[in-house]
Amino acid sequence: MSRALELAKLGRGHVSPNPMVGCVIVHHQHIIGEGWHRQYGGPHAEVNAVRSVADESLLPESTVYVTLEPCSHYGKTPPCADLLIAKRVKKVIVCNDDPNPLVAGKGLAKLRAAGIEVETGLLAEQGRQLNRRFFTFIEQQRPYLILKWAETADGFMAPADLRPMPISGTLSRQLVHKWRTEEDAILVGTNTARHDNPQLNARLWSGRNPVRIVIDKHLQLPPSLHLFDGSQQTLVYTVLPKDEPDGRANYIPLDPETPFLPQLIADVFRQKIQSVIVEGGAALLESFLNQGLWDEARVFKSPKILGDGLATPLIRGRLADTERVGDDWLMTYRPL
- Residues taking part in catalysis: 46
CB of 56 to ligand AOF, least distance (A): 19
- Cβ-count burial 66-93 (b if 16+ within 10 Å, e if not): bbbbbbbbeeebebbbbbbbebebebbb
For residue 44, state whether it binds Zn ion (rule: CB under 5 A).
Answer: yes
- Partner that binds at residue 103, options ligand AOF, Zn ion, none, CB closer than 5 to 8 Å by kind: ligand AOF
CA–CA distance, 25 with 132 (Å, rounded to integer)? 25
User: Running DSSP on this structure, what letter comes out for residue 71?
Assistant: P
- Within residues 80-139, the interface with Zn ion by CB under 5 A covers 80
Long-range contacts of residues 214-218, Cβ cutoff 8 Å, at least 24 apart:
214/187, 214/188, 214/189, 214/190, 215/187, 215/188, 215/189, 215/190, 215/260, 215/264, 215/284, 216/190, 217/190, 217/260
Q: Would you list which residues are annotated within the binding site for Zn(2+)? A: 44, 71, 80
Compute the least distance from the CB of residue 130 to ligand AOF, in Å: 12
* Contact with Zn ion (CB under 5 A) among 24, 66, 71, 175: 71
Partner interacting with residue 142 (select from Zn ion, ligand AOF, none; CB below 5-8 Å by kind): none
Residue 113 burial (C-beta neighbours within 10 Å; 0-12, 13-18, 19+): exposed
Residues interacting with ligand AOF, by CB under 6 A?
Answer: 18-19, 21, 37, 44-46, 68, 70-71, 75-77, 80, 98, 100, 103
For residue 135, the minimal CB distance to ligand AOF (Å) is 11
User: Could you tell which of ligand AOF, Zn ion, none binds residue 106, using a CB distance below 5 to 8 A set by kind?
Assistant: none
Distance CA 104, CA 278 (A): 31
Binding-site residues for NADP(+), in ranges, read 150, 192, 196, 281-287
**Measured from the CB of residue 206, what is the shortest distance to ligand AOF in angstroms?**
23
Q: Which does 75 bind (CB under 5 to 8 A by kind): ligand AOF, Zn ion, none?
A: ligand AOF
